[in-house]
Each structure stands twice: as structure tokens, then as C-alpha cells.
Amino acid sequence: MVRAFGVARTILALAAFGVALSAWGQNYPAKPLRMVVPWPPGGANDILGRELAEHMSRLIGQQVIVDNRGGANGVIGAEAVARAAPDGYTFMMHSLTSHATNPSIYKKLNYDTLNDYAPITQVAWLPLMIVVHPSFPAKTVRELVQLAKAKPGSISYASFGTGSMSHLAGELLNVMAKIDMTHVPYKGGGPALIDTVAGQVPVYFAGVTTGLSNVQAGRLRALAVTGSVRSKPLPNVPTVTETVELKGYEATVTYAAWAPARTSPDIIARLNAVIIKAMQAPEFRARLDREGCSDPIGGSPETLATVLRSEIDKLAKIVKAAGIEPQ
């Protein structure tokens, strides 16, 4: 849904801030930083967050501790960050998609998605993939659609949370293919994966990062990826539109970083610079390739703010079209 800006623009963003590592000064950071990941361990957000935290720790000379606060499509963790002291020691890496859909999904939030956070930068985006338990009869998305049409409401699909792109990807398929699969929400990618592997739910719109090893091991079967192009680690797995005539079907997840509102612009600029620098590490970029993610996105805080506003409007239309009722 949100396109990567490219490595060249990322490098320019770093140069624009003119922040070398030596500019971090002697007083900040004087203690470890806390990266809140609003999802349980094991999902794509957690995997990428931990990889980023490791490279940030090396650059700043302080540990960046990952704090998993899963539940309610990221609401629990996001609320913790909104209430945190704006001192530069707490920030979150969160799915931009989920952050943008929560105002449409929940009747009442204890935070303001736009005004309670200081944007830092985008990190990367990745497609989802439609995976099924090996016992499930469909071998392609076309066959999945045919089965769903033959028995409306009989096929369940897992997502990593109500209002997540995993959920919206399933509902988008329902709407565009004119089928009726039943949504089963989980509190993150890890729990959804466990139940799909166990056969408790037959279909899962998984992050490539989350499901890849299980597909490679034969514990799950990949029907398609939901991006516009095939995924690097799964070159033999087609896109949805390659297997069934659903022109325009696409669902990807973007991850980004935010700090509490009122964090000083100087600290935001420093966090932006060090995150972008960390993303340029060969090991980090290799991890993105292995997990099926885009190249690092980067960009300025202002760009992230603009993208978030756009996604809130765009995804609200998908929520309405899918008939997802606010909770």
C-alpha cells in the first residue's frame, strides 16, 4: 500500500540532517532506550524491531531494549507510548497500517493517533502471503475462492488482529472475489501462526516474515503473496493477481517509528538519523531480504506524518467497504 522511497532518498535524508554519530553528545543517551513493539513476540513487527534495536545499540553505545506490549491491534502498546515521558528514552516501532486503521476500528481510543506522537521515520514494508494448513484442499487462490463460493461462511481465516492489514487483506479478498470467509482475529502474528500450523484454522493472511520458515519446512503451504510483485525469498509463489482475476488487489504492511508527542525536535532528528544509519548496515539489509521486506524506506518525520494522514483516510474507506463494525 505504501511504496518504499529508495535507498538514494534515504541517504539524502540522513545527509539533510547532517547528524554524524559523534553528534549524539555526552548527555544523550545516558541510559538504555526502550523500543515498544505493540505486538507479541514472533511476528514480523517483533522480528524487524529486534534487528533494528541490535544495530541501534551498536551505534549509540547504549542498549535498545525491546518491550513487547501486544494486544488490540497495537492499541495497548501505542497507548503506553502516548503516555510515556517525552524524553527520548521511549519510542515505538509499529505497523503504520494498524496505527492508521485503529481510529476506524475502535469507537474510543485513549490516545490521538495523529497528535499524541512525534513521527520519526518509516522503516520498511512487506507483503503478506496467504498460507494454508497442508490438509486444506485448495492449492491456489483460485481454488480457495471456488471453495468459499461453494460453501459460504464455512472457511475461516486467521489474522494478526482486528483492523490489521492481515484482517483487511482477507476482507478485501472477500469483497473483490464476492466470497464470505469468516475472520478469526488473534493478538499478533505469532499466536495466529501457531494455530494455523496446528490446523486450528485453515487459512492465514501472514506476514512473509512470520510464515516463511514454516512454508519452507512444509508445515504450511503458500498460495500467493499479496504484493504487486513476487517476494524475493519466495520466487516460485505467485501474487494473488497472477492466480485469479482480481485486478488491483494488493495488501502490504509498512513499519515505522514514533516517539511520544512533545519529544524535542533535536532528539527526534537524532533518532531519525541513527535509525536510518542502522538500516544501512549490510546485516540489516540482508535481514530485510531474507524476510521478504522492501529495501529500507527512511525519510523525514514530516514525510511519515503525511503518509500516516493519507493512510488513515485510505484505510477508513476499506474498513467501511468491508463492513467492519467499530468495536
Residue type, 108: K
Per-residue model confidence as pLDDT tens for the chain (327 residues): 434 344 444 444 444 444 444 444 458 999 999 999 999 898 889 989 999 999 999 999 999 999 999 988 899 999 999 999 999 999 999 999 889 999 999 989 999 999 999 999 999 998 899 999 999 999 999 999 999 999 999 999 999 888 889 999 999 999 999 999 999 999 888 899 999 999 999 999 998 888 889 999 999 999 999 998 899 889 999 999 999 989 999 999 999 999 999 999 999 999 999 999 999 999 999 988 888 888 899 999 999 999 999 999 989 988 998 888 878
Q: Contact 299/121 with Cβ under 8 angstroms?
A: yes
Look up residue 21 and give its three cell numbers. Answer: 554519530
DSSP codes joined into one string, 51-104: HHHHHHHHHHSS-EEEEE---GGGHHHHHHHHHS-SSSSEEEEEEHHHHHHHHH
Of 243, 269, 299, the last residue of a domain is 243
162 and 94, same structural domain?
no
Look up residue 254 and give its three cell numbers. Answer: 509498512
Q: What is the pLDDT of residue 291?
A: 82
- Structural domain tally of the chain? 2
234 and 137, same structural domain?
yes
Of 243, 276, 297, the last residue of a domain is 243
261, exposed or middle or buried, with CB in 10 Å at 0-12, 13-18, 19+?
A: middle
The percent of the chain in helix, strand and coil, each rounded to the nearest 5, is: 45, 20, 35
Q: Name the DSSP class of 287.
A: H
Q: Contact 86/263 with Cβ under 8 angstroms?
A: yes
Q: What is the pLDDT of residue 17?
A: 40
120 and 55, same structural domain?
yes
Among 132, 155, 147, 131, which residue's Cα sits nearest to residue 231? 131
252, exposed or middle or buried, with CB in 10 Å at 0-12, 13-18, 19+?
A: buried
137 and 50, same structural domain?
no
Q: What are phi and psi of 75, to 5 degrees?
A: -65, -45
Q: What is the pLDDT of residue 26?
A: 54
163 and 77, same structural domain?
no
149 and 67, same structural domain?
no
Q: Say whether 162 sits in a helix, a strand or coil.
A: coil
Q: Contact 258/116 with Cβ under 8 angstroms?
A: no
Q: What is the pLDDT of residue 10?
A: 44
107 within some domain:
yes
106 and 192, same structural domain?
no
Of 215, 243, 271, the last residue of a domain is 243
Q: What are phi and psi of 194, to 5 degrees?
A: -60, -45
258 and 117, same structural domain?
yes
2 within some domain:
no
> What domain range is 199 assigned to?
127-243
pTM of the model: 0.82
163 and 142, same structural domain?
yes
Q: What is the pLDDT of residue 318?
A: 86
327 within some domain:
no
